[in-house]
Amino acid sequence: MGDDALIQSYRLSEWCSNAPILEEDLALTNFALDMTGRAQAMLSYAGQVEGKGRTDDDLAYKRKERDFYNHLIMELPNGDFAYTIARLFFTSTFEFFFFNQLQNSADTTLAAIAAKTIKEVRYHNAHAIDWVLRLGDGTEESHNKIQKAVNELWMFTGELFETEEVDALLRDQNIAVDMPVIADKWKEHVAQVLSEATLTIPESGYMQSGSNKGIHTEHLGHILTEMQYLQRAYPEATW
């Protein structure tokens, strides 16, 4: 989940000076800021649990492609505004239900991170929904663009509910997180918003997968190349 936040924040921060209105520029980069904070909290905790003395920055800036476990949907290039909004809608809806459950973790650190995250995610989700409605029920052009984005992203949504990795994590924390339940809630919520936005829900087809084995799209390597540039070029330096 730390990687999800890290990589999604990377993509959202690319909207700086690139959004259709100044207000939106600020909103998207503000979400990126939330997610960077979440990544920091999660990765430093992961490092602590691992017990090898690795810091949040070590994990963010010194890991290789194959050691990243973010969901594929997070790393896909931003595309147009509709594509970014559709993705944010899908991921924030998932995160909302997921962190809602994680709040009950017996692990107090995770529970605390989840409690903080849920507030942010609720806001991201509300913002994304506002735009899904505006674009879906706005002009013909915007309707077509957001529909296309929804269709193209659909095959990356199944991976969000794969259970192995998360199950193990949560079972350790004595929580039975019910991924199928989260998946059902997600589908219901998504269907409701899409239909209100006059959009068609894609038929369930083949779902892409691989991130829980560290198998990514070609895009992740480019993200890491850019993100890790200074740490790799000057390994002795601290900043």
Partner 1 sequence: MELLEKTDKIHETMLKNFEEKIERGDAIEPKDKMPDGYRKHLMRQMSQHAHSEVIGMQPEGNWITRAPSLRAKQILLAKIQDEGGHGLYLYSAAETLGISRDEMIAQLHSGKAKYSNIFNYPALTWADIGAIGWLVDGAAIVNQVSLQRTSYGPYSRAMVRICKEESFHQRQGYEIMANMMKGTKDQQEMAQDAMNRWWWPSLMMFGPHDSESPHTGDAFKWKIKRHSNDELRQKFIDKTVQQAEVIGLTIPDKDLKWNEEKKCYNHGAINWDEFYRVIGGNGPCNKQRMDHHVKVHNEGAWVRAAADAYRLKKEKQLLHL
Q: Where do contacts with partner 1 occur on this chain (CB under 8 A)?
A: 9-10, 13-14, 16-26, 29-30, 32-33, 36-37, 39-40, 43, 56-57, 60-61, 81, 133-135, 137-139, 141-142, 145, 226-227, 229-231, 234, 236-239
Find the distance separating the first CA and the last CA of the chain, reported in whole Å. Answer: 25
Q: How far is the CB of 8 from partner 1 (least distance, A)?
A: 13
Is the separation of the CB atoms in 81 and 19 below 8 Å? yes
Q: Could you give the CA distance from residue 27 to residue 29 in angstroms, rounded to a whole number? A: 6
Residue whose CB is less far from partner 1, 218 or 236: 236
Residue whose CB is less far from partner 1, 82 or 175: 82
Beta-carbon count within 10 A of 206 CB: 8
Residue whose CB is less far from partner 1, 83 or 98: 83
Count Cβ atoms within 10 A of the Cβ of residue 62 and give its class: 0-12 exposed, 13-18 middle, 19 or more buried. Answer: middle
Residue whose CB is less far from partner 1, 141 or 164: 141
CA-based radius of gyration for the chain: 18
Who's near 228: CB < 8 A, 6+ residues apart? Answer: 61, 62
Q: Which of 5, 161, 148 is nearest to 85 (CA)?
A: 148
Q: Which of 67, 197, 218 is nearest to 136 (CA)?
A: 197
Q: Could you give the CA distance from residue 58 to residue 36 in angstroms, rounded to a whole number? A: 14
Residue whose CB is less far from partner 1, 111 or 227: 227
Residue whose CB is less far from partner 1, 206 or 238: 238
Type of residue at 186: W
Q: How far is the CB of 118 from partner 1 (least distance, A)?
A: 20
Q: Which of 66, 101, 90, 111 is nearest to 8 (CA)?
A: 90
Residue whose CB is less far from partner 1, 22 or 168: 22
Q: How far is the CB of 205 from partner 1 (least distance, A)?
A: 28
Q: How far is the CB of 162 from partner 1 (least distance, A)?
A: 27
